[in-house]
Amino acid sequence: MSAESDAVAPEGRTVLEPGDIARALTRISHEILERNKGAGDLVLLGIPSRGVPLARRIAARIKDVEGVAVPVGALDVTMYRDDLRRHPARSPHPTDVPPGGVDGRTVVLVDDVLYSGRTVRSALDALNDLGRPDVVRLAVLVDRGHRELPIRADHVGKNLPSARTERVMVRLADVDDLEGVWISS
């Protein structure tokens, strides 16, 4: 935690510190470029709320390496979730599709934590309403396991085996004035 921040770290064990997050995002950025053979036709869509700043950070790293500005947007999945009846009090976030759309492009969905896979399934449904990408890939900062659907990430910052009773908390300076990943019971 930085001296200028008044934010309090969550209870639990620290899993990733700011430097760890930076290194993970740099590695993910290079993996995306390698798999895509460059930055051509690439679009990053962050899943709110913390997937959006992660997508922006990945795009900045790609620009540093390739010298190309990769379009970044936000993909709200709120109305596509399968648990709206159980948890109806959700605030939708705006969906922001970059100019040029997603048709025929390589779209990388970016999120902070992959758990059951239901958020990603919702994102795929939402993306289907926006257009038809050539390829859809998934990049996550943390993969904690416990999938309920046949979904896996293509790019992972940290695999974090966890119990279902544990909670993984991601905090990003862009959103929370605090940076790190914690796990608690």
User: What are the tens digits of pLDDT across the range 3-40?
Assistant: 445 688 888 999 999 999 999 999 999 999 999 999 99
39 part of a folded domain: yes
Pairwise pLDDT comparison (91 vs 176), residue with the higher score: 176
Plot region of 100 (φ>0 → left; ψ -120 to 50 → alpha; else → beta)? left
Q: For residue 111, which phi and psi values (nearest 5 degrees)?
A: -140, 165
pLDDT in tens, 61-83: 999 999 999 999 999 999 998 87
Give dist(CA 32, CA 5) in Å, integer: 32
89 part of a folded domain: no
pLDDT at 183 over 70: yes
Give dist(CA 58, CA 154) in Å, integer: 14
122 part of a folded domain: yes
pLDDT in tens, 98-157: 999 999 999 999 999 999 999 999 999 999 999 999 999 999 999 999 999 999 999 999
For position 62, which CATH number holds? 3.40.50.2020
What local confidence, expressed as pLDDT, does residue 90 receive? 66
Q: Give me the number of domains the chain comprises.
A: 1
Q: What is the pTM of this model?
A: 0.93
Q: Which domain holds residue 156?
A: 13-81+95-184
109 part of a folded domain: yes
67 part of a folded domain: yes
